[in-house]
A and B are shown apart, each in its own frame.
Chain A
Amino acid sequence: MAKKATPEINAGSMADIAFLLLIFFLVTTTMDVDTGIMRKLPPPVENPDEDVDVNQRNVLKVLLNSRNALMVDGRRMDISLLKDKTKDFMAIHLDNPDYPEVTTRFIEELGKEVPASKGLISLKNDRGTSYDMYIQVQNELARAFNEMKDEKSVELFGLKYKALIDKNKIKAINKIVPVRVSEAEPEDIGGN
């Protein structure tokens, strides 16, 4: 019994099969990386009528109306100026009644007390504000705080905030420069 040589399998259609698979994956999958602005919502208030007593000089009011106009501290403002205004407001100004009060806060990671502003950004929008504008404002506020973190980080550790690796240092910076943006309780004004 002579053994027959097995005929070679034709691999010519292999490419076609692989192509089909490839096209299947191209169609059913997406490549986008999800990115966005992280925010933490405040817990719901128990007594909505009860006003929390906050010293007016500690609050920077940022209002957005239904025509996407921005009002900061009672004056109209262009969005390009919002970042610098926020930074200026949140910076430490000792004994200046035009700026928020200053306290000291003990930072465990550094083992010492640092001055901390009591300032707070209060963001309020209308139901008719466009989401795009709202994100622009959130972005500018985030930019202000990120730049402040960078500055503090360079001052203390000689590195930018993003370049920090030590977890304690990151924590310390986050405690020294807390992101103090509060969103007011929504009010039904304006239209859809």
Chain B
Amino acid sequence: MSKFKSKKGRGSAAINTSSLPDIIFILLFFFMVSTTMREVTVRVQQKMPEATEIQKLERKSLVSFIYIGEPKNIKMFGTNARIQLNDVFADVDDISEFIAQEREARDEADRNLLTTSLKVDGRTKMGVVTDVKQELRKVGAFKINYSTRKKVER
């Protein structure tokens, strides 16, 4: 009956963990390279509509974002769709100033290449979006991009 041997004195050898930091560092570098820093805290709900005919946004440094949607904090801001520029809620009238600021921050040669990406929640009504688009036309920011997710084929 040697099946039940006493386990005394046969403790398993410790696993060598000296390469653990290296593995973690590789993971770390992977994330550092493949992700981008979050620049603004989005305060509106963002459930983008899906589309198939999408293009990737090239040259992210030349893109300014306008977020539109229902505020996340309904108790404080209500359920009406709001526009968010940078970190704060804004009105339609603030857009011209926002675009002027964005242009100012860019190199002079790149200014007319500036794209405005509209990140709009799918449930938003078009009224707000139309107002924003009219305002963008007025200030001459003609290149726009309706931000959408890629539709998953089922």
Contacts and interface: CB of A to CB of B under 8 A. Distances in A.
Given A15-B21, A135-B49, A34 B60 contact: yes
B140 A43 contact: yes
B57 A128 contact: no
Contacts, number: 151
B142 A135 contact: no
A160 interface: no
Interface in B1-45: 17-18, 20-21, 24-25, 27-28, 31-32, 34-38
A19 B117 CA distance: 35
A30 interface: yes
A186 B130 contact: yes
A146 interface: yes
Interface majority SS (helix, strand, loop, mixed), chain A: mixed
B61 interface: no
A157 interface: no
Interface stretch (A20-28, A111-119, A170-178): A20-28
11 contacts: A14-B21, A25-B28, A25-B31, A25-B35, A35-B55, A36-B117, A37-B53, A41-B133, A125-B130, A131-B129, A134-B129
